[in-house]
Structure 1
Amino acid sequence: MPQVYFLCTGNSCRSQMAEGFAHQYLPKWRVDSAGIEVHGLNPRAVQVMAERDIDISHAVSKRIDLAYLQQCDLVVTLCGDARDRCPRLPASVKHEHWDFIDPAQATGTDDQIMAIFRNVRDGIDQRVRQLASHETAI
């Protein structure tokens, strides 16, 4: 079974969203997410994913598991911090970098912040769909 790991800084938003979409679009894959640090699951990420009927409310923010990482077919970093601080990958592990802003850092009114979360969610959705449409190439 192919294995993918989605990584971002705190495993609170972007990587959790990617994992949620991947469970939906890549049902034959082992899917997980983690962070360089542990920031806790962001409630706004839960809310915008629920708008797409994907429940990530029981997800747990966690730090990178080196054993899982070493066994992956694909590692996707979702921010420059994760890309730069990711442990060294074996040559057999494919790496993709999808650079998304951190919606948890958004400022403004609640509506403005939620719009940023939705924009990031929709971008991640599109990238995971593209990945699923090319999964045999991995």
Structure 2
Amino acid sequence: MKNILVLCTGNSCRSQMAHGYLAHFTDSDKVTVYSAGVETHGVNALAVAIMKEDGVDISKHTSNHVEEYFEIPFDYVITVCDNAKERCPFFPTQAVKLHYNFPDPSKVKGSTMEVIEEFRRVREMIKDYCKDFVATHNL
């Protein structure tokens, strides 16, 4: 069993979307996916809606703090924003640490449609990253 942690600042958007896609693209008998933040901001409702548009349900996800997972032997820790990478605590494991700084769609200012389009754009970036990650690591 491989354990993957996706880490972001508030565990509300980007890490939740990556968690959803990684769980979607991998076999749950072989991989367990977790997501957390260096803070907790609650799961963003627009992230839930945007993922549902693409057939991935993250509506039951919760916003978790990284300290909740210190006892889990992670194989991979993926930070999805620079802030989380800088603040990522030491994990007493041999976890492979990966990083990709995705834009934060929750910070976009504009009309409702502009915000939704940014969430979709970031979702597609995260989806592509997760597909590549799964293929590259034979998960």
* TM-score using structure 2 length: 0.93
Q: Which amino acid aligns with 1:7?
A: L
**Partner of residue 7, structure 2:** 7
Counterpart-to-counterpart distance in 2, 1:24 and 1:55? 9
Counterpart-to-counterpart distance in 2, 1:91 and 1:46? 31
Unaligned runs of at least 5 residues, structure 1: none
Say whether residues 1:60 and 2:48 are aligned partners. no
Tell me which stretches of 4 or more aligned residues in structure 1 moved more than 4 Å. Answer: none
Counterpart-to-counterpart distance in 1, 2:6 and 2:127? 13
Q: How does 1:16-95 map to 2 (within 5 A)?
A: 16-27=16-27, 28-64=30-66, 65-68=69-72, 71-90=73-92, 92-95=94-97
Q: CA RMSD in A?
A: 1.3
* TM-score using structure 1 length: 0.93
Counterpart-to-counterpart distance in 2, 1:85 and 1:47? 29
2:97 counterpart SS class: strand
- C-alpha contact (below 8 Å) 2:80/2:99 kept by paired residues: yes
Q: Which amino acid aligns with 1:66?
A: F
Q: Deviations over 1:52-110 (max 9, x none)?
A: 11111111111012122xx1000000000100000013461101101111111111000
Say whether residues 1:130 and 2:135 are aligned partners. no
The aligned length equals 135
